[in-house]
């Protein structure tokens, strides 16, 4: 009887929920809240980029960070190691960094921490106030993990967010073109659209944005986790000649 009891207890411990592997365990994900420091440097001539809400008056750098912090919480709960390019409304290259340095530094932070992927979060602007809808950018000269990552997240954000789908777009923005890691830029919607911009005043809306990205990432690693891990191992291998992480690649300016 004592032996059977011990066996049952050990069996319960073996299959305890605490022992289950979380879906993102072992993965390092870099979240890049686009822009930064708009509230500090507006009108100074120092580059920050970013737009401003037509109704809310919120800076894009603020709402990007709100969504990023919500996504970080989800990913940490999912077992990921999360790297943030910034955790406050500030420039990642400091007050003296040039535009190119500001954009390139985001990739450097990801690669210094051996990230498996980069997720850059943004909100959009158009001179047409009626335009609204999510879009997602990747950069690749051939089919690969970048496009698959973009497609997986795209499927979720178009279900969760309002507006007309703006598509999955291959474009060499700097944050995408300066790395070979799987990376995407997500544009959740247009701050120039009054209806969408009002949603950003609701603190719960950032949770909707973050959950959509989280579900997309979950779907991506469900199909491409092994390929992502193998690629990262090779990418960070110092014996590669030449190592892709030390090649300087300049993409299209902006974002």
Nearest CA-CA partner of 213 in 81, 110, 109, 75: 75
**Per-residue pLDDT reduced to its tens digit, 222-231:** 999 999 999 9
Place of tokens 């001179």: 127
pLDDT of 251 > 60? The answer is no
**Per-residue pLDDT reduced to its tens digit, 62-88:** 999 999 999 999 999 999 999 999 999
**Per-residue pLDDT reduced to its tens digit, 9-20:** 444 444 445 557
Q: CA–CA separation, 32 vs 67, rounded Å?
A: 10
Count of CB atoms situated within 10 Å of the CB of 65: 24
Structure tokens of 230?
Answer: 């193998």
Q: CA–CA separation, 69 vs 63, rounded Å?
A: 10
Count of CB atoms situated within 10 Å of the CB of 23: 17
Nearest CA-CA partner of 85 in 37, 136, 46, 51: 37
Place of tokens 């969408």: 196
- Map out the domains of the chain with their CATH numbers: 23-188+195-237 (3.40.630.40)
Three-class SS state of 28: strand
Beta strands in 102-177 (DSSP E): 117-124, 135-138, 167-170
Q: Do 115 and 31 contact (CB within 8 A), yes or no?
A: no
Q: CA–CA separation, 31 vs 120, rounded Å?
A: 6
Give the model's pLDDT for residue 65. Answer: 98
**Per-residue pLDDT reduced to its tens digit, 22-51:** 999 999 999 999 999 999 998 898 999 999
Nearest CA-CA partner of 115 in 160, 179, 57: 179
pLDDT of 112 > 80? The answer is yes
Which residues make Cβ contacts (< 8 Å) with residue 106, sequence separation at least 6?
A: 32, 85, 92, 118, 120, 175
Q: CA–CA separation, 166 vs 136, rounded Å?
A: 8
Give the model's pLDDT for residue 250. Answer: 35
**Per-residue pLDDT reduced to its tens digit, 134-183:** 999 999 988 799 999 999 999 999 999 999 999 999 999 999 999 999 99
Higher pLDDT, 253 or 133: 133
Backbone angles phi, psi at 83, to 5 degrees: -110, 130
Reported pTM: 0.88
């Amino acid at each position: 009887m004592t032996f059977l009891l011990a066996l049952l207890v050990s069996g319960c411990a073996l299959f305890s929920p605490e022992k289950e592997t979380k879906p993102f365990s072992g993965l390092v994900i870099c979240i890049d809240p686009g822009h930064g420091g708009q509230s500090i440097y507006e009108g100074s001539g120092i580059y920050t980029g970013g737009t401003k809400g037509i109704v809310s008056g919120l800076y894009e750098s603020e709402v990007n960070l709100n969504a990023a912090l919500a996504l970080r919480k989800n990913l940490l709960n999912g077992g990921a190691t999360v790297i943030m390019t910034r955790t406050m409304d500030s420039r990642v290259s400091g007050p003296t960094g040039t535009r190119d340095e500001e954009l390139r530094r985001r990739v450097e932070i990801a690669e210094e921490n051996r990230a498996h992927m980069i997720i850059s979060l943004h909100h959009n602007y158009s001179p047409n106030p009626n335009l609204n809808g999510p879009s997602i950018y990747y950069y690749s000269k051939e089919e690969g993990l970048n496009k698959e990552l973009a497609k997986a997240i795209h499927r979720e954000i178009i279900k969760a967010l309002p507006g007309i789908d703006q598509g999955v777009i291959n474009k060499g923005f700097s944050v995408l073109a300066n790395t070979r890691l799987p990376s995407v830029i997500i544009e959740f919607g247009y701050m120039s659209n009054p209806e969408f911009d009002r949603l950003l005043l609701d603190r719960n809306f950032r949770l909707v944005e973050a959950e959509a990205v989280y579900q997309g990432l979950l779907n991506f690693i469900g199909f491409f986790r092994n390929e992502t891990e193998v690629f990262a191992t090779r990418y960070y291998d110092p014996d590669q000649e030449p190592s892709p992480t030390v090649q300087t690649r300049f993409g299209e300016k902006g974002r």
